[in-house]
Structure 1
Amino acid sequence: MKIAIASGKGGTGKTFVSTNLFWTAQHSGMPTTLIDCDAEEPNVSEFLRGEEQSVEKVVQHIPYINVGACTFCGKCAEYCNYNAILFLPESRFIKVLPDLCHDCGACSYACEYGAIIEQEKTIGTVKISLVGNSSYIIESRLEVGEHSPVSVIKKAIKAADSQHLILLDAPPGISCPFITTAEQADFIILVTEPTPFGLHDLELSVSTVQQLQKPFGVIVNKSGLGNRAVYQWLDENKIPLLLEVPFDKDIARIYSEGKILAKENPTYQKIFMDLLNKIVKTLWS
């Protein structure tokens, strides 16, 4: 079972929910894998630590055009759906634009003259760490300066054991990295906060998840902050409210110290276990 924890904006508490769910499931005896899919800014390791098992590089194949062998037919540029090949036939100029390349291989397939050579470029890493006897943390991390984490996220998700409970700590927003993560999930938790910004971005997230046709529910973090507009919107649209986490100084202190709330406060271990059971019942009812 794969559960994605997502939000329309950063700072709502995705990682807070992800790490507490992981700790609770793991300490209930359930083999669990938590994948940090926020490859541009992974931070799960700030709260959970394990024994490093492996670090694998994620590479992209960047095509290089040998102009000596090129006939300037333009077929490679025609096949490229991402406009990653600049071709000026009158000037007999052709060049790959690496930042636009998606490593699809279409240009190599199109070239009949062997003028295209693919070169490997490291764009990120996937690190696997063992926590306890049977649980894992998988961290996706994008190299500084790279523009798209999608390939790194896909590699991290693929590295997970499908027999485990898998928690996907999704990137914020609703762009390609979020879609890459959410489309793999059986259920999506959307974390929001009761503020105008929280509601605005929640509406965008809900619309996206509905288009993916995934079952989902909402957690309101920092409950008591802001107003009741989020709750009214959830009621009007018949969207399930899974959990409320209060706006509490002690919770904020525990989190800011890099600690797990469910570990420090046993009441929350039961709360997060009940949340997990509620999701299981939703999926299998």
Structure 2
Amino acid sequence: MIITVASGKGGTGKTTVAVNMALSIGGTSILDCDVEEPNVHTLIHPETTTVSPVSVPTPSVDLGKCTLCNACADFCEFNAIFVGKTVLVYEEMCHSCGGCSMVCPEGAITETTRDVGLIHKSNVDGIRLVYGELNVGEPIATHLIKAVKQEIDENGINILDAPPGTACPVIETMQESDFLVLVTEPTPFGLNDLAITVDVVKELGIPCGVVINRAGIGDDKVREYCKKWAIPILLEIPFSRKIAELYSIGVPFVKEMPEWRAGFRRLFEDIREVVKND
């Protein structure tokens, strides 16, 4: 089972929900797909990790064979290749599709590899942790997210912590999920970003539910929105100084407030029932 925890904006508490749910269930894999700023490990604290680089294919042009025909540049919709008096390859814009080498009539384009980031793997307290770390300055996160998702345990429970927002990295993370947990807060900003995320989820056709974090502030418009669109509210986490203080020192609140483990287990059971009947 693949459960992705997402939110329309940063700072709503999706990592908090993902980590506390994983610890409450136990025996899960948690994969941090927020590769531009991973932080699951700051709450789980692995003592040792295995680290491996992730590379992607990038075109290399043999100028001795190239006739400057422009076929590669015409093909590339991302403008990663420019043909003028010579050929320029903009590696950071390349999506590694390999199309340019296929359309080159002279066979002048081959592929080399380029490192884009790292994958860290560890086991902590019965939790299998995998997270990606994108190289500084690397503009395309989806290559590394795909590599992180290759570590999904097909026979187990996988909790994916998605990047914030609704752009390509989020879509890449959500795809192939069995259920989406959308974390929001009861504020006008929270509602606005939740509505945008729900529109994306509808396009993907994946069942979803909402967790309201910092419940008790703001108003009831998030609840009214969920009722209107028949989106289940799976859990409400109160606006709590203690929870915030625990987060600030890197402690998942179920460790110090064990009564919350039952709530997260019920959340998981509700998700499992939906997935079973979907």
Q: Partners in 1 of 2:186 and 2:198 — Cα distance?
A: 15
Counterpart secondary structure, 1:20:
helix
**Corresponding position: 1:126 with 2:119:** yes
Aligned to 2:78: 82
CA drift of 1:45 comes to 0.7
Partner secondary structure for residue 52 of structure 2: strand
Structure 1 residues 47-126: aligned runs within 5 Å: 47-50=43-46, 52=48, 54-88=50-84, 92-126=85-119
Q: Match for residue 226 of structure 1?
A: 218
Could you tell me which runs of 5 or more consecutive residues in structure 1 were left unpaired when the two chains were aligned.
Answer: none
Aligned residue pairs total: 277
Return 218-227 or 74-83, whichever deviates more.
74-83
- Structure 1 residues 272-281 or 104-113, which shifts more? 104-113
1:3 matched residue in structure 2: 3
Shift of 1:94: 2.5
Structure 1 residue 200 displacement after superposition: 0.5
Question: Is the CA contact (8 Å cut-off) linking 1:52 and 1:127 kept in structure 2?
Answer: no
TM-score normalized by structure 2?
0.95
> 1:118-176: CA deviations, max 9, x gaps?
2322110111101245x310011100000011010110110222111000000000000
Rounded to whole Å, the distance in 2 between the matches of 1:238 and 1:161 is 31
Give the percent of matched residue pairs that are identical in Structure 1 and Structure 2: 40
| One-letter amino acid of the structure 1 residue matched with residue 7 of structure 2 | S
- Whichever residue aligns with residue 248 of structure 1, its letter is S
Q: Distance in 1 between matches of 2:41 and 2:152?
A: 17
Among 189, 194, 200, the residue aligned to 1:197: 189
Indicate the residue corresponding to 1:267 in structure 2.
259
Deviations, residues 78-120 of structure 1 (Å, cap 9, x unaligned)? 22232211123xxx43222222210111111122323223232
Match of 2:41 among 39, 45, 66: 45
1:167 to 159, 182, 189: 159
Q: CA RMSD in A?
A: 1.4
Unpaired segments of 5 or more residues in structure 2? none
Distance 2:154 2:46 in 1: 20
| TM-score, length basis structure 1 | 0.93
Letter in 2 for 1:12: T
Shift of 1:72: 1.5
Aligned partners of 2:87 and 2:135: how far apart in 1?
A: 28
Q: Give the letter for the 1:190 counterpart.
A: L
* 1:15 equivalent in alignment to 2:15: yes
1:126–1:156 CA contact under 8 A, matched in 2: yes
- Residue 58 of structure 1 aligns to a residue whose secondary structure is strand
- The alpha-carbon deviation at position 53 of structure 1 amounts to 5.0
Q: How does 1:26-41 map to 2 (within 5 A)?
A: 26=26, 31-41=27-37
- Structure 1 equivalent of residue 168 of structure 2: 176
Shifted more, 70-79 versus 47-56: the winner is 47-56
